[in-house]
Amino acid sequence: MVIDSHCHLDLLAKKKDINQVLLEAAKAQVAAIVVPGINEQNWLTINKLASEHAMVYFALGFHPLFLKEVDNESIIRLEQRVAELKNNRKLVAIGECGLDFYQGRENELLQKSLLIEQIRIANQYQLPIILHCRKAHQDLIALLKQNPPLYSGVIHGFSGSYQQAMDYVNLGLKIGVGGVITYERAQKTRSTITNLPLESLLLETDAPDMPLYGYQGQPNEPKMVNLVLSSLNMLRSENEQTVTSQLLKNSKLTFNFCD
Ligand SMILES: [Zn+2]
């Protein structure tokens, strides 16, 4: 059994029949899929997907690349939603939130203040946090040290150095391992993932984005998480059984999945 800890099923639904996608995921031993929130527009959709499909779970938050419609009341509405869903076991995290300076630092202050607010909400409701980071590891690590998430979480789709990864691990966070490790050219990330503690890793696809090596040009899907696991197994020194069962355990512990 494997868990896809990061999959934009709502975006994939625009490209593929979601019932078929989930059927194939189940056949491929995918036990659960976590669908991150992006902005207020997708919260209802992913909540609905989770209530309709046993294997689908979701998170609520503001993705740093989709902040156009964020206003002064946005965080209040997020907090209200989370409070309403407090007893819904399908809501498993806050996010995805974080910092993305790929296109520059124009809205750096907005990104940072929204992230701090989302960490506060995660801590208040005892939820883990799903973090997104591009071109911002230094800023993100500094911000997390000042505003530590208290209920763990994951830095998703990680690519970077061992030292950066360990900074997150030392903050109690997991490292999301995705399709990037299927590419031979991703040497730095591959060597990082090879050397990190096995207890710190989670599997993900980030579907429909981040196609695996050999599948470029096709929408990525949750069933592919098995191929990420195969690549991980090739990198790690532990035996396959140990890697598979530890990775499942890591996801279950992070998101408090009930069996
Ligand atoms: Zn994402």
Mean per-residue pLDDT of the chain: 96
Q: What is the pLDDT of residues 166-205, one digit of tens each?
A: 999 999 999 999 999 999 999 999 999 999 999 999 999 9
Instruction: Please state the residue numbers annotated as binding site for a divalent metal cation.
Output: 6, 8, 96, 132, 156, 206
Instruction: Please report the pLDDT score of residue 72 as a whole number.
Output: 86
Question: 12 CA distance to ligand 1 centroid (A)?
Answer: 12
Question: What is the Å distance from ligand 1's center to 208 Cα?
Answer: 9
Q: What is the pLDDT of residues 16-25, one digit of tens each?
A: 999 999 999 9
Which stretches of the chain score pLDDT less than 50?
Answer: none
Write down the pLDDT at residue 204: 98
State the SS3 of the chain.
CEEECCCCHHHHCCCCCHHHHHHHHHHCCEEEEEECCCCHHHHHHHHHHHHHCCCEEEEECCCCCCCCCCCCCHHHHHHHHHHHCCCCCCEEEEEEEEEECCCCCCCHHHHHHHHHHHHHHHHHCCCCEEEEEECCHHHHHHHHHHCCCCCCEEECCCCCCHHHHHHHHHCCCEEEECHHHHCCCCHHHHHHHHHCCHHHEEECCCCCCCCCCCCCCCCCCHHHHHHHHHHHHHHCCCCHHHHHHHHHHHHHHHHCCCC
Domains, the chain: 2-255 (3.20.20.140)
User: What distance in angstroms lies between residue 96's CA and the mean position of ligand 1's atoms?
Assistant: 7
Query: What is the reported pLDDT for 40?
Result: 95
Rounded to the nearest whole angstrom, what is the distance from the C-alpha of residue 77 to the centroid of ligand 1?
A: 21
Which residues are documented as binding site?
6, 8, 96, 132, 156, 206
Query: Quick one: pLDDT at residue 258?
Result: 64
pLDDT, position 14: 95
